[in-house]
Amino acid sequence: MVKLLIGQTGDGKPFTVDPSSLTKHTVVFGATGSGKTVLCKSIMEEASSQGTPVLAIDPKGDIGCLAIRSENFSFRPFSDNEAKLLGKNPEDYAKELAGQYHDSYNALARDDDELNRFVEKTDVRIFTPRSNTGLPVSMSPRLTPPKDFAKKMGEDPSLALDMLELKASNLLRLAGYSEDGKVQRSLISTILEDEWKSGHELTIEKLIELVSNPPFEKLGMLHLDDAISKRERNELSRRLNVLVTDAAARAWFLGEPPDFDRWFHKSQGRIPINIVDLRTIPSEEGKQVFVEYLLQELFYWINRQEGTQTLQYLLYFDEIHGYCPPIREPPSKKILMHLIHVSRAFGLGIVMATQNPVDVDYKIISNANFRFIGNLSTRQDIERVRTGLSLRADAFQVISGLKTRQFYYQIFDQAESGILSSRWLISYHRGPLEPLEIKRLKEGAAPEKMTVRAVPLSVPEEVFLRDTDRKRAKKGILGGTEERIVFAKKIFLPYLDFTYRFPAERGLLSKQMVMSEGRSTVLALREANFGFDPRLVELASMLADMELDSASIINGVDSTVLVSERLAELKNLLRDYEAQSEERSKQYEVLPKESPTRENLKENIEFLRKTKLLRWKMFADGLQLPTKLDLDKLELLEGTLFYMPYFIAKLSRGGESRYIVWNHEGREDDTIADEMTKNKKFRTLIETRAIP
């Protein structure tokens, strides 16, 4: 029987898993740096190598590098940026990586056929909702009736009614309704039920007509107009119509909708690994809605398949904590519970991972048969996992001492537990792929010269060179050391000019929530730590076409992907401040008043509060947002990339360096200069581009 090799036990024996046992589901916990992603990727590598199609939901972009694989472990050009950040020659670094990966693979005592099977027999596709960076996938709501719906209404009415509610809820969220839109959901559910029972093919256009003029006179026990007024029905029709007419809404319908007959089809003998990269969805609310829709489509599809107890498909859900929290009921939670309950009967295995054990509903994951717990950040996290999964009493001590890529495992149905060291990967493992790298993988060829938009440099470079020489320290009358010019050169930095939308209250007496829009600009580099700068918007009119070799400029992005990530980083940062404050406050309350630690905690709590407020103020002031805005409701609409020229000089003397930066108008820019001084990643990135 074929087994999946995941790693080795503490006594050096191979740790293998029967593929069919994965239909009982798996959960993986681990903090950043624990090796959680490596373990999960190894499960996907093994399953796909043995013929199991994979669907991976990837909120942070950590899974896309499964697409970078090679029989000789040659990962260029995708390893080049990492080499530059490490200060290494790209070719030498690629050889170094190949040696490391060869050694790790040989340590598994596997032959080359295993390696070749994964490299040659898998087909990794990266899907990007709302974007054509990868393979665009749309959220076009297919209203085709589920298979044997009328029969399901008779045999399992609870399941059939849940199908109706989920589809109606998804449509309403797309149309901008909150959970309060119960009567609208009831109307759509009733229309869907009538049409599906009759086996009719329903389109969004037809649904809009039926909402305006329903084919029934009563909704429940009430006359139609008493249950939902004509005005409310017209408003619902209008909002649904926006889905097919509004430019921002149409971004959801870019590409083809999920087609699991095609996604899971083994074309030409190659096993598909389908990765859905959620970074292209601007808002957390949008991600929730899309995940709900995607899981709905999978749920409907899996219910049409033949029943089996063997593993046929694998669903991997990374960073699940935001999608099944213990208290809230986000759109994705209910459908995920349905999938977990029915999937085993159809051969679907589900692997769920998170670095935040406190923020997960254990009703969803406590039935997982395989539990892998890596190093966790806090005692609270470890205790939450131990109690939530009913682990042995000594598990706390064991988990506390785990190293990177070590996991405490428990196989529930076998009452087995121990320590596992996960194997290393066949595919290249590094941080998230850049949008241009995803395009390169999609197109299968190196990018040609690209046309970018750039603001012209209004001051001749000779002037900057002269000013650099004038500003460097010279020898004095009494001697001393002169400052040396390390480099002085024009650099292009990418900026993203984007529009955004957010809900705001209007009206003095009758408060109404309306959608407000704005426009701003952000420096499109992850390594930088700048706020959003609306002053740069006026530069859009100054843009000029320039032909630049993509290898000679700082790579930016050509969509709102990076800004979305910046927003997500900010949200996580603010929530982290809140979590730390709550934890410190709890500690503060239980300490005796005379304890010196109490005063230190009080100062720390105040520092966290002020830091959080400062971070928010920098962000909100830049975008001119209301102070009480829910960040999850902020939606990015579209963005345009352009480049700004800067002249940057590095001066050095006696082992100390300083930077002088001029903007396109010839004015000194202390913000960029300070960032060069303080931010090592940013400095390294700029210097690798600046040195001839």
Q: Which of 343-347, 501-505, 518-522 has the highest mean pLDDT?
A: 343-347
- Domain identity same for 602 and 548: no
**Range 300-306, long-range pairs (CB < 8 A, 24+ positions):** 300/146, 300/163, 301/260, 301/261, 302/260, 302/339, 302/342, 302/343, 302/346, 302/348, 303/146, 303/147, 303/342, 303/346, 304/146, 304/147, 305/346, 305/347, 306/346
Task: Please indicate, yes or no, if residue 655 is contained in any of the structural domains.
Answer: yes
Between the CA of residue 209 and those of 68, 205, 240, 253, what are the distances in Å? 48, 7, 10, 20
- 422 touches 42 (CB < 8 A): yes
pLDDT digits (tens, 9 = 90+) for 538-594: 665 556 555 544 443 444 444 456 666 667 667 777 777 888 888 888 888 888 887
Phi and psi at 94, nearest 5°, equal -60, -40
Residue 307's Cβ-count burial label (10 Å; 0-12, 13-18, 19+) is exposed
Helix and strand totals (H; E) in the chain: 23, 20
DSSP state of 479: B
Spatial separation of the C-alpha atoms in residues 18 and 39, rounded to whole Å: 16
What value does the mean pLDDT take over residues 347-370? 88
Parent domain of 520: 448-559+633-690
Task: Please indicate, yes or no, if residue 307 is contained in any of the structural domains.
Answer: yes
Phi and psi at 113, nearest 5°, equal -60, -35
- Domain identity same for 119 and 33: yes
- Domain identity same for 495 and 554: yes
Task: Please indicate, yes or no, if residue 240 is contained in any of the structural domains.
Answer: yes
What six digits make up the tokens of 486? 């390390």
DSSP reduced 3-state for 402: coil
DSSP reduced 3-state for 442: helix
Residue-level pLDDT at 615: 77
Task: Please indicate, yes or no, if residue 529 is contained in any of the structural domains.
Answer: yes
Residue-level pLDDT at 449: 43
Confidence (pTM): 0.68
Tell me: pLDDT of 316 over 90.
Answer: yes
Side chain identity, residue 71: E
- 153 touches 197 (CB < 8 A): yes
Side chain identity, residue 159: L
- Domain identity same for 661 and 530: yes
Task: Please indicate, yes or no, if residue 258 is contained in any of the structural domains.
Answer: no
**Last-in-domain residue among 371, 387, 422:** 422
Determine which of 443-452, 621-630, 651-660 has the lowest per-residue pLDDT on average: 443-452
What six digits make up the tokens of 223? 């006359």
Side chain identity, residue 224: L
pLDDT digits (tens, 9 = 90+) for 360-402: 888 888 888 999 999 987 888 888 888 888 887 788 888 888 9
- Domain identity same for 184 and 301: no
Residue 680 CA, distance from chain mean position = 25
Between the CA of residue 124 and those of 49, 205, 632, 650, what are the distances in Å? 12, 35, 31, 43
As beta bridge partners, residue 158 has none
More confident residue, 239 or 246: 239
DSSP state of 476: B
Residue 182 CA, distance from chain mean position = 30
CA R_g for the chain:
28
- 501 touches 635 (CB < 8 A): yes
- 233 touches 187 (CB < 8 A): yes
Beta-carbon contacts of 328 under 8 Å, excluding residues fewer than 6 positions away, are none
Task: Please indicate, yes or no, if residue 210 is contained in any of the structural domains.
Answer: yes
Determine which of 20-29, 431-440, 571-580 has the lowest per-residue pLDDT on average: 571-580
More confident residue, 518 or 656: 656
- Domain identity same for 382 and 304: yes
Spatial separation of the C-alpha atoms in residues 353 and 368, rounded to whole Å: 12
CATH of the domain at 303: 3.40.50.300
Q: How many domains does the chain have?
A: 4
Name the strand (E) or helix (H) holding 151: helix 149-155
Q: Match 């063997």 to its residue by tokens.
A: 310
- Domain identity same for 228 and 316: no
Determine which of 44-48, 255-259, 404-408, 419-423 has the lowest per-residue pLDDT on average: 255-259
Q: Match 């490596």 to its residue by tokens.
A: 38
More confident residue, 146 or 213: 213
pLDDT digits (tens, 9 = 90+) for 125-183: 999 998 888 999 988 766 777 777 888 888 778 878 877 888 888 888 878 776 667 88
Angle between helices 680-690 and 670-678 (to 10 degrees): 110
DSSP reduced 3-state for 253: helix
Determine which of 182-196, 420-434, 481-495, 617-631 has the lowest per-residue pLDDT on average: 617-631
- Domain identity same for 309 and 353: yes
- What is the DSSP secondary-structure string of 324-390? S-SS---HHHHHHHHHHHHGGGEEEEEEEEES-GGGS-HHHHTT-SEEEE---SSHHHHHHHHHHTT
DSSP state of 526: T
Task: Please indicate, yes or no, if residue 432 is contained in any of the structural domains.
Answer: no
Tell me: pLDDT of 5 over 90.
Answer: yes
- 350 touches 298 (CB < 8 A): no
Residue-level pLDDT at 175: 80
- Domain identity same for 574 and 555: no
**Last-in-domain residue among 388, 422, 456:** 422
What value does the mean pLDDT take over residues 458-483? 80
**CA neighbor of 553 nearest in space, from 400, 685, 410:** 685
- 291 touches 333 (CB < 8 A): no
What six digits make up the tokens of 222? 């009430």
State percent of the chain over pLDDT 90: 22
- Domain identity same for 552 and 578: no
- 79 touches 94 (CB < 8 A): yes
- Domain identity same for 77 and 202: no
State percent of the chain over pLDDT 70: 87
Q: What average pLDDT is seen over the chain?
A: 82
- Domain identity same for 471 and 589: no
Confidence grade of residue 628 (pLDDT, cut at 50, 70, 90): confident
Task: Please indicate, yes or no, if residue 571 is contained in any of the structural domains.
Answer: yes
Tell me: pLDDT of 322 over 50.
Answer: yes
Name the strand (E) or helix (H) holding 241: helix 230-245
Spatial separation of the C-alpha atoms in residues 333 and 331, rounded to whole Å: 6
